[in-house]
Every structure is written in structure tokens, then in C-alpha cells.
Amino acid sequence: MQHSNSFPDWHGTTILAVAKDGKTVIAGDGQVSMGATVVKGSAKKVRRLAGGKVIAGFAGATADAFTLLERLEAKLEQYPDQLARACVDLAKDWRTDRYLRRLEAMLLVADKDQIFTVTGMGDVLEPEIAVAAIGSGGSYALAAASALIDFDLTSEEIARRAMKIAGDICVYTNGSLTVETLEG
């Protein structure tokens, strides 16, 4: 994967966040691919941070993502219960630090009140509706979850159905899900 200054198009994962009725869910598939080969089907790309108050999912290079998750954890310790500030500070460091700006990953981060997509381009994006997605199957999962959000379904049911749809379309997404939930 070459480093570029454009918004990255990650192949190999799907991460989806859905918030509804006081519950926020982040779901991630488990497929790890190298080119056209699946090397692992049950990777955990969704983690709890800040003593379980924050959920984060990642797409991109795993070692890079772990570095970013560690940095985010430190920002959350520096700014307790201030997810937006922690994400903005991480994005600022990510964009300006010579080492960090070479990292090729994206984060989807949520607490009980907010969802953010954080990129190395300095973006901290909060969705207009309580649905966000990243990764190669992200567009499919986002479309499916957006279509399901107004139905009489829980956030977890929406996430699971949307991830199934994404997995049926995107060859880089499988049905081995990690699902983490926060209640408001």
C-alpha cells in the first residue's frame, strides 16, 4: 500500500458504528487479507478503551492501528470523558508528527454519546445520522445501516444485519464479527 495524501481506500475490513435508543454499537468483521489470500478469519478489530467507556474499531495496517489506539488511549487519559477533544488532539498529532503521519490506518471511535471517524488527514468526522463506517466494505455497511436505522430494530440488530449485507457484497469482509456495545 502506497502512502498518499488522498483519503485512503482500505481493503480488508469493515467497521460499522450505530447509535440508537441510548445504545451505541461498533461491529467489525474478522477477515485479514494479503492480496487475494485470506490469512485469518477471526481477527478482533474492535477494542474497548478508557476503562470500557469508549469503543474503537480500525481499518488499515494492524501495527499502525495499534499505535494509534495506544495514542488515543493516552489522549483519553489526558482528557477524561472528552472524546471529541481526545480525537481532535490525536488527529492533530497524527497529521503533524513526522512518524505518525506515515501510519496507514483509520479509526472509528464512539462513546455513549458520540461517534467519530478519525483519519491521518486531520479529519475528525461526526456523522449527521448516528451511523458511520470505514474499510473496504464500509460503504456497503453504511448504506445498509442507514436504510435500517428507522425500522423497529436495536442498534445491535441493525449493525449485525448491515454487516451481513456488507459481507455478502465485499470480498474483503466476512461474517466473523466482533460486536461491542455501550449503553447510555
Q: Which residues are catalytic?
A: 13
Q: What are phi and psi of 137, to 5 degrees?
A: -100, 10
d(CA 141, CA 163): 6
Half-sphere exposure at residue 114, Cβ-oriented, CA atoms within 13 angstroms: 14
Query: What sign results for the dihedral spanned by CA atoms 100, 41, 141, 86?
Result: negative
- Residue 35 DSSP one-character state: T
